[in-house]
Amino acid sequence: MSFVEPRSLIERAFSEKWALGAFNTSNLEMTQAIAWGLEQQNSPGIIQTSEGAIEYAGLQIIYDIVRDVSENANVPIFLHLDHGKSFEIVEKCILAGYKSVMIDGSKMSFADNVALTKKVVDFAHANGVWVEGEIGSIQGKEGMLKADIKMDDSMLTDPDEAIEFVIQTSVDSLAVSVGTIHGAFRGEEKIRFERLAAIKERVKIPLVLHGASGLPQDEITRAVREGIVKVNIDTELREAFHNTVMENEERMENNSVDPRKMLAPGRDAVQKLVAQKALVLGSAGKKVDPGV
């Protein structure tokens, strides 16, 4: 199945109150694992690349990998740019074929964030591309397992700023800071559901939850029930891949130097994790027609 258009898929999840998993990749094995995990659950989903992944693999190469793997899956998938920090990287991704992008100006002043996001929205919408913006501060870094980070209310998305941001930029979806942290900081993060409810009351477009790695299943399920439509998961996939590959390496025979034997178990572990997440997000069994 070729890439699907984001709008119909996201709007269906929005209206039916389930969420799309947005899983990060940087190579062939991770891409296959994500697609196969979604396929296992008959679930639509999103494969996304960060600027770091694009730098690592090359923009056209990673685009082609995700496109080709998705075309061989029988579930709806689209490709998304995660945390684009500049107009230039967004432009390059759109010209390469991305139909969904995120522009992250959250570390800027409100006015500068609005200006950058609006510039991206104008260009993206002229090319039929979905845009995710961000307001609020989500701390941490993808791939980190431990850090001394504490979220306080000053870092959370202000509901009044959120609606003003949406009005001024015309973004299609909004990433919000409601207590989660980038990375897998188990036991140290909690979704502030009162803040999420206050945002949802004002903002009527799909909301996005970043930093979901390590969150308890019941918190993710409740967040979806209360308005989250896209859930980003990266570090947890990396951790599953890394740990499995390292464990397998220790068991391998000394005379084996086949990279496929090293990487395949990691791919299998990520596939299993993606399949589990589809169940938690409510996207399992939500396969739709290719025309969506």
What tokens appear for 178 in the block? 């409601």
* Cα 157 from Cα 198, distance rounded (Å): 10
> What is the residue-averaged pLDDT of the chain?
90
To the question of domain 6-281 being in CATH 3.20.20.70, the answer is yes
Q: Which residue from 220, 231, 215, 134 is spatially nearest to 181, judged by alpha carbons?
A: 215
Q: Can you tell me which residue has the tokens 């793997």?
A: 69
Q: How far apart are the first and last CA of the chain?
A: 11
* Cα 99 from Cα 7, distance rounded (Å): 9
What tokens appear for 63 in the block? 């685009």
Q: What is the pLDDT, as a whole number, of residue 257?
A: 73
Q: What is the pLDDT, as a whole number, of residue 150?
A: 62
Report, as residue numbers or ranges, the catalytic residues.
Answer: 82
pLDDT digits (tens, 9 = 90+) for 247-288: 876 666 665 678 898 899 999 999 999 999 999 999 999 976
Yes or no: say if 135 and 165 are a contact pair by the CB < 8 Å rule. yes
Q: What is the pLDDT, as a whole number, of residue 138?
A: 65
Q: Which positions ≥6 away from 113 have C-beta within 8 Å?
A: 105, 106, 133, 134, 135, 165
Q: Which residues of the chain fall short of a pLDDT of 50? A: 142-144, 290-292
pTM of the model: 0.91
Q: What is the pLDDT, as a whole number, of residue 145?
A: 54
Q: Exposure of 187 by Cβ count < 10 A (0-12 exposed, 13-18 middle, 19+ buried)?
A: exposed
What are residue 12's phi and psi, to 5 degrees?
A: -65, -45
Q: What is the pLDDT, as a whole number, of residue 183?
A: 54
Beta bridge partners of 211: none
What tokens appear for 165 in the block? 């941001």
Beta bridge partners of 135: 176
